[in-house]
Amino acid sequence: MKRIFACILVALLCAVLIACLCCACGKEAGNEPNPGIEGMTDGELVDYLTANVEEAYERMYEMRGPLEARVPGDTAELPNEGGCRVVLLESFGQTIIRYAVATSGAIYEYFPDDGQWALMYVPGSVG
């Protein structure tokens, strides 16, 4: 009986140790770490945009003349967000729509008529 109890205790201690090590590394057991917006490739950034802004998805994949995404590598400085990665939706080399993805995960769309950025997506929001 003591041996069974000792084995159970060792197994529990191992589970706790593994959980603590995962927390120290910033990972959950079984999950890959999220590289964040800054660590995303251009393709991953476009996928993030289209997964979270329905209009961007529709404009890229469902319109009669679909737009192409380009990540030029420059940043847009937004109040309270700092430097955001820019994603352009283009048609025949002309920029049609400009998005900015903040390190917080928020996504903004630029409206040139009034020179303003509109918040399109907030991480953790529904709908």
- So what's the pLDDT on residue 2? 57
Domain housing 65: 35-121
> Do 25 and 50 lie in a common domain?
no
In a domain, 109, yes or no: yes
- So what's the pLDDT on residue 7? 45
> Do 40 and 94 lie in a common domain?
yes
Provide the number of structural domains found in the chain. 2
Asked whether the predicted pLDDT for residue 74 surpasses 60, the reply is yes
In a domain, 127, yes or no: no
> Do 90 and 39 lie in a common domain?
yes
> Do 1 and 46 lie in a common domain?
no
pLDDT tens profile 22-69 = 344 343 433 343 458 889 999 999 999 999 999 999 998 888 777 899
> Do 43 and 28 lie in a common domain?
no
> Do 56 and 83 lie in a common domain?
yes
In a domain, 126, yes or no: no
- The mean pLDDT value for 71-88 works out to 93
Give pTM, 2 decimals: 0.69
- Whether residue 69 contacts residue 49, with contact meaning beta carbons closer than 8 Å, is answered with yes
Q: What percent of the chain has pLDDT over 70?
A: 71
Q: Is 106 exposed, middle or buried (0-12, 13-18, 19+ CB in 10 A)?
A: buried
The answer for residues whose C-beta is within 8 angstroms of residue 49's C-beta and 6 or more apart is 56, 69, 87, 99, 101, 107
> Do 56 and 89 lie in a common domain?
yes
